Amino acid sequence: MVIITGTSRGIGKAIAENYLNLGEKVIGIGRNHTISHPGYSSIHCDLSNPGLVELISFPDMDNEKVIFIHNAGILGKVDYFEKLDPQEIAKVMQVNLFAGAAILQKLLQQLPKTTSFKCVFISSGAGKTPIASWASYCASKAAVDLFCQTIQLEEQQLGRTNFHCLSVAPGVVDTDMQAAIRDTKQTSFSEVDRFKEYKHSNQLYSPELVAGKLFKLVHEMPLEQVVYSLRDIDL
């Protein structure tokens, strides 16, 4: 069973379709659902609302291998933080970190310790390097890296032997998120030209390439660490 947040488009949709094409069952969690496939089922949830995330529940999966991928993410408004509504950081943290953490906690509480369980948070290079006008996003993705490392440590201590928690940066990917970045005014985002150049010089990964690389990492490579970049994975 593969549980993925944010399957309506972009990277999450490509990951979901990759698993469905391989015959896996997928549960997508999100506000919108665009996949029509017999193996796909949906849980409707706006992940920016903690009360709605709390209501999520899963079927019995005791005898299945379970993969949870927290892919849903938002950049938030791109501008200097001093100009933003202070609530902006709360929303970005909620979608990018807290919603995934709350779903992971439900799964850890539900699944027996012997279940084969892999958890992937989609992180970002922006969690490693500051990017002006992305303060909330950078903070949320940096938090994802250390959250995943801590959960891995905790579950080892708790005797969950068949578990891996991964924080995986996908690279720069040709999705709506990148289109929104390129649409920002230079006065709000000093590095906008760098992102336009990525697109114009065809440097963006396709979501399908990212889905393939993620599958290779999660299923075909020895998992010896928690924090990975798909830039380091060749297909």
Ligand X SMILES: NC(=O)c1ccc[n+]([C@@H]2O[C@H](COP(=O)([O-])OP(=O)(O)OC[C@H]3O[C@@H](n4cnc5c(N)ncnc54)[C@H](OP(=O)(O)O)[C@@H]3O)[C@@H](O)[C@H]2O)c1
- Report which of 179, 180, 152 is spatially closest to residue 164, judged by C-alpha positions: 152
Shortest distance in whole angstroms from residue 1 CB to ligand X: 19
* Helical (H) or strand (E) element with 198: helix 192-200
d(CA 216, CA 123): 17
Shortest distance in whole angstroms from residue 138 CB to ligand X: 11
Comparison of 115 and 214: residue with beta carbon closer to ligand X? 214
For residue 117, what are the contacts with CB-CB under 8 A and spacing of at least 6? Answer: 65, 66, 67, 68, 107, 111, 160, 162, 163, 164
The one catalytic residue in 40, 137, 198, 228 is 137
Comparison of 152 and 175: residue with beta carbon closer to ligand X? 175
Which residues from 34-63 bind ligand X, rule CB under 6 A? 46-48
Shortest distance in whole angstroms from residue 48 CB to ligand X: 4
Compose the 4-23 pattern: x for residues touching ligand X by CB under 6 A, - for all others.
Answer: --x-xxxxx-----------
Active site (annotated) includes residue 205 = no
- Report which of 64, 26, 225, 41 is spatially closest to residue 145, judged by C-alpha positions: 225
d(CA 161, CA 183): 46
Q: Which stretch binds ligand X (CB under 6 A): 2-10, 18-26, 112-120, 212-220?
A: 2-10
Q: Which stretch binds ligand X (CB under 6 A): 28-36, 150-158, 160-168, 219-227?
A: 28-36
Comparison of 115 and 195: residue with beta carbon closer to ligand X? 195
Comparison of 4 and 61: residue with beta carbon closer to ligand X? 4
Which residues from 59-78 bind ligand X, rule CB under 6 A? 71-74
130 is written with which tokens? 């500051």
* Helical (H) or strand (E) element with 168: strand 163-169
- Point out the residues that are catalytic: 137
